[in-house]
Amino acid sequence: MQKSETLNSKPKTRNQGGTPDGHTILVVSSSFVVNPGLYAKIPYDPYKSFAPVSNMAASPNVFVAHPTVAAK
């Protein structure tokens, strides 16, 4: 990585922005892999469309629901 990059942070885009140009570096949160389960159409496959370079951090996820919710 011999060139400088600009960070373009758009928090309300649901991690769906940016056109790959061969020089794209992506930093994402857990919503990156959750979005396919939440939205019918997204412009990427989180497992096939990107290749990991480094793991910068790890954080646990917790799913919480009220006992009266009839979740299966």
For the segment 18-66, what is each residue's pLDDT rounded down to a tens digit?
A: 666 776 677 777 777 788 888 888 888 878 888 878 887 887 878 888 9
pLDDT of residue 39: 86
- In sign, the C-alpha dihedral spanning 72, 12, 31, 58 is negative
Query: Token pair of 65, please?
Result: 């629901």
C-alpha triplet 12, 13, 17: angle, nearest 5° = 150
> Is residue 2 scored above 70 in pLDDT?
no
pLDDT at residue 9 greater than cutoff 90: no
pLDDT for position 68? 93
